């Protein structure tokens, strides 16, 4: 069965609703301006490309995991984690066992669900995708 296109195209770059963005891998683009002291962040340019509809960050460990993040939730419609190296472990409200995401695995975290990051490998490296790009994190109890 053939499907018809849902979006107009092909388009020229001038007609496209999003921007063409290339974010090269440069260590100088990593920064520590984020919620966790044991990792550093690199913005992948998706917020600019999508007018704030989506964001993506490359996150990597820079020191051993010190303590759990504490229970919190994010005011967003989508939250995805793809682990490139190492592992990260979560607790989710409503699930009795920890959830471990290992290299090569992707976690689709339901929007608004309370969670707590309880562990990570010293070599953790991941891509985090959020929708929308601008959101708040709210501390809570499970």
| pLDDT tens-digit series, residues 95-122 | 999 999 999 999 999 888 999 999 999 9
In the chain, the domains with their CATH numbers are 31-139 (2.60.120.10)
| pLDDT tens-digit series, residues 4-43 | 888 877 888 788 878 878 787 877 788 888 778 889 999 9
Best CA proximity match to 57, nearest among 72, 45, 74: 45
> What span, in angstroms and rounded, lies between the C-alpha atoms of 74 and 94?
16
Global pTM reads 0.85
């Amino acid at each position: 069965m053939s499907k018809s296109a849902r979006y107009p195209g092909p388009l020229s770059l001038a007609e496209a609703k999003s921007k063409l963005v290339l974010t090269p891998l440069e260590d100088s683009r990593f920064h520590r301006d984020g919620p966790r002291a044991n990792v550093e962040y690199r913005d992948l340019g998706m917020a600019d490309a999508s007018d704030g509809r989506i964001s993506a960050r490359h996150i990597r460990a820079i020191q051993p995991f010190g303590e759990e993040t504490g229970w919190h939730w994010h005011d967003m419609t989508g939250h995805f984690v793809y682990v490139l190296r190492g592992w990260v472990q979560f607790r989710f409200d409503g699930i009795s066992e920890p959830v471990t995401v290992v290299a090569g695995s992707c976690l689709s975290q339901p929007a608004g669900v309370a969670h707590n990051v309880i562990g990570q490998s010293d070599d953790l490296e991941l891509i985090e995708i959020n929708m929308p790009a601008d959101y708040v994190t709210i501390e809570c109890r499970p």
